Amino acid sequence: MNLNVDMEHHRGILIVRLSGELDHHTADMVRMQMDEAIQRRQSEHLVLSLKDLQFMDSSGLGVILGRYKLIKNKGGKMVVCDVNAPVYRLLEMSGLFKIMPIYENEGTALSGLEVVS
C-alpha cells in the first residue's frame, strides 16, 4: 500500500491529511511535500489529520517531529487529530503527546489553533 497526501490551507493553517502507510518508503516524499507547502504558503500553524493512516513506523515519527520543529522555529504550533488506535499507541509511546496536542477531529483542532493565532 502507498500513501496519499491531501493538503489544504485555512487562514494561515496548513491542514495535512495522510491516508495509507507512512513508512520508510513514503517518508521522504511526505517530508518534501509538507516542507514545500509550509514555505510556499507561509503557513503559521499545522494540523496533521491521521484519520485514514493505517500504518506508521519510526520514519513517519521522524517526519512528524521534523515538521514540528520547523513550525515551532517559525513561532507556530502543530497539532494532531483523528488518530486511530494503532497509530495513537505509537505516538503515545514515542512521547509525542507531551510536546504536541491531540484533538478528536479537524474542527476542534482548527478551533484550538485559532485561539492562539
Mean predicted confidence (pLDDT) in 4-18: 94
pTM (2 d.p.):
0.93
The 10s digit of each residue's pLDDT in 65-99 is 999 999 999 999 999 999 999 999 999 999 999 99
Checking if the pLDDT of 117 tops 60, the result is no
pLDDT for residue 19: 96
Is residue 49 within 8 A of residue 82, CB to CB? The reply is yes
- pLDDT tens track for 21-75: 999 999 999 999 999 999 887 889 999 999 999 999 999 999 999 999 999 999 9
Domains of the chain: 3-111 (3.30.750.24)
Alpha helix (H) residue ranges in the chain:
27-41, 58-73, 85-94, 106-116
Nearest CA among 63, 68, 74 for reference residue 18 = 63
Kindly state the cell numbers that stand for 60.
513517519
